[in-house]
């Protein structure tokens, strides 16, 4: 067997350098713990970036994978399958959506949503350019359409020309949103097709959208026969303490997307729409692997665990416990941290703007304590553990993050 450094060199020699990887090879996991190839355990508060919702090697997922793999793994969408029908029925019964489309990733789900938005808009007025408004600091994916929808220029650099038909406004600024909608309405060549928002921005800094802002977006969409789209790729599937983040905000979307935690680590994503805007016909959209029996069977098993009231109550309780501990951390290191934001088990610790410390440095310091966290921009540490995290794991994580913060503070003062 190659030495660890040899394996890292082989990987770097043959993979495109699209990721800044930490120098570790993980070989197995259980619950909230990952082990590297040297047998060292790490406490995982990244969860595949909010994806391993039930942690690692959860028996429900292991059993569902084994069970379905013995029957049928893949089937063309030219035919019906029981797992796909069951998952679609569950999702529509437990959400504002009436119809589902399955694909493989969040970017694909958002791409499908944008195609659906454009088709709907062209049915109303095919002579005008459909415009989609999204929020600054949003993140919607890395395809050409979704990276254009993303309100962060750092993800768009080098990929010009970007897709036309997108504009961005400040999150939680109702006046700016209303002004932008009015400008589009006054244009002879454009019309508002949709407003697309994350109920809680993840990649952009773990920033919740306010109820007033989402209500404003809903009202404007209704006034202009446009569609309200929620990107729940990261904040959905129980992560905020309710099955869908929008349920806590009193605003229903016309379209919303789900991925990441939906499959608990198995690639699966869903685009859900209300009946009035579910206008795709045969040939309008598709996915070779989307909705395959294996992914759908696992996703349904995950949904049935996360969807229980008892499970969601536990997420809320653990989220409150983690938030309280992180606030204590901020009080312990007031020269380093300025606050905590987010909902449930999607939390961000903000680093003071006036200190020369970045989220990357905190992530690296935590890594040295064998604690995995992730950044959300240059000044926010994102904490998105498996939803099954225990109180003991939380206390362990807080102790390690405190040790990392102490070591970092000692080197910067």
pLDDT in tens, 44-77: 999 999 999 999 999 999 999 999 999 999 999 9
Gap between the Cα atoms of 37 and 245, Å rounded? 37
3-state secondary structure of 42: strand
Stretch 150-171: mean pLDDT, rounded?
Answer: 96
Q: Pairing state of beta strands 255-258 and 227-231?
A: parallel
pLDDT of residue 10: 82
Cα torsion for 141, 144, 145, 146, to the nearest 10°? Answer: 10
b/e burial code for range 333-343 (CB count within 10 A of at least 16 → b): beebbeebbbb
Is 105's pLDDT higher than 60? yes
Can 4-57+309-412 and 62-306 be said to share one CATH topology? no
Count of beta carbons in the 10 Å neighbourhood of residue 98: 13
pLDDT of residue 412: 73
Per-residue CA distances from 410 to 122, 141, 190, 349, 361 (Å): 59, 37, 56, 19, 13
Is 134's pLDDT higher than 90? yes
Per-residue confidence band for 251, with pLDDT thresholds at 50, 70 and 90: very high
Q: What confidence tens digit (pLDDT) does each residue in 381-404 have?
A: 999 999 999 999 999 999 999 999
Gap between the Cα atoms of 147 and 170, Å rounded? 17
pLDDT of residue 413: 60
Q: What confidence tens digit (pLDDT) does each residue in 308-321 have?
A: 999 999 999 999 99
Q: Is 91 exposed, middle or buried (0-12, 13-18, 19+ CB in 10 A)?
A: buried
Is 1's pLDDT higher than 60? no
Is 213's pLDDT higher than 90? yes
Provide, rounded to the nearest whole percent, the portion of the chain with pLDDT above 70: 99
pLDDT of residue 2: 59
Stretch 217-238: mean pLDDT, rounded?
Answer: 98
Per-residue confidence band for 5, with pLDDT thresholds at 50, 70 and 90: low
- Identify the CATH class of 4-57+309-412: alpha beta
Is 40's pLDDT higher than 80? yes
Stretch 121-136: mean pLDDT, rounded?
Answer: 95
Specify whether the CB–CB gap between 395 and 402 falls below 8 A. Answer: no
Specify whether the CB–CB gap between 143 and 287 falls below 8 A. Answer: no
Domain boundaries, the chain: 4-57+309-412, 62-306
b/e burial code for range 281-319 (CB count within 10 A of at least 16 → b): eeeebebeebbbbbbbbbbbbbbebbbeeebbebbbebb
pLDDT of residue 411: 81
Is 287's pLDDT higher than 60? yes
Per-residue confidence band for 361, with pLDDT thresholds at 50, 70 and 90: very high
pLDDT of residue 20: 87
Specify whether the CB–CB gap between 331 and 349 falls below 8 A. Answer: no
pLDDT of residue 8: 82
Specify whether the CB–CB gap between 341 and 350 falls below 8 A. Answer: yes
- Assign domain 62-306 one CATH number from 3.40.50.720, 3.40.640.10, 3.40.50.1390, 3.90.1010.10: 3.40.640.10
């Amino acid at each position: 067997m190659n030495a660890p450094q040899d394996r890292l060199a082989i990987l770097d020699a043959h993979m495109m350098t699209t990721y800044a990887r930490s120098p570790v090879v993980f070989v197995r996991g259980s619950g909230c713990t990952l082990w590297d190839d040297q047998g060292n355990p790490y406490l995982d508060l990244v969860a595949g970036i909010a994806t391993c919702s039930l942690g690692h090697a959860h028996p429900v997922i292991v059993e569902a994978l084994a069970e379905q793999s013995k029957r049928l793994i893949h089937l063309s969408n030219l035919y019906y399958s029981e797992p796909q029908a069951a998952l679609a029925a569950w999702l529509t019964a437990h959400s504002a959506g009436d119809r589902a489309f399955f694909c493989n990733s969040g970017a694909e789900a958002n791409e499908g949503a944008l195609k659906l938005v454009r088709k709907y808009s062209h049915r109303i007025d095919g002579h005008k350019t459909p415009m989609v408004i999204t929020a600054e600091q949003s993140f919607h994916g890395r395809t050409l359409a979704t990276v254009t929808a993303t309100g962060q220029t750092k993800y768009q650099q080098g990929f010009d020309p970007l897709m036309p038909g997108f504009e961005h406004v400040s999150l939680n600024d109702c006046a700016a949103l209303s002004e932008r909608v009015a400008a589009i309405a006054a244009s002879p060549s454009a019309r508002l097709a949709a407003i697309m928002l994350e109920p809680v921005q993840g990649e952009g800094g773990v920033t919740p959208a306010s109820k007033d802002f989402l209500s404003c977006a809903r009202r404007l969409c209704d006034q202009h026969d446009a569609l309200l789209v929620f990107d729940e790729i990261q904040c959905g599937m129980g992560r905020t303490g309710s099955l869908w983040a929008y349920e806590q905000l009193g605003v229903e979307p016309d379209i919303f997307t789900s991925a990441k935690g939906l499959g608990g680590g198995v690639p699966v994503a869903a685009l859900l729409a209300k009946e009035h805007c579910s206008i795709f016909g045969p040939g309008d959209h598709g996915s070779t692997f989307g909705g395959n029996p294996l992914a759908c069977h696992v996703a349904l098993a995950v949904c049935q665990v996360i969807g229980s009231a008892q499970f969601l109550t536990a997420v809320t309780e653990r989220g409150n416990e983690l938030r309280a501990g992180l606030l204590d951390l901020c009080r312990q290191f007031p020269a380093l941290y300025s606050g905590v934001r987010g909902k449930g088990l999607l939390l961000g610790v903000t680093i003071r703007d006036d200190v020369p410390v970045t989220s990357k440095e905190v992530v690296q310091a935590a890594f040295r304590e064998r604690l995995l966290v992730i950044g959300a921009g240059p000044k926010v540490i994102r904490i998105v553990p498996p939803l099954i995290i225990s109180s003991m794991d939380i206390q362990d994580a807080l102790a390690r993050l405190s040790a990392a913060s102490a070591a970092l503070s000692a080197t910067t003062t």
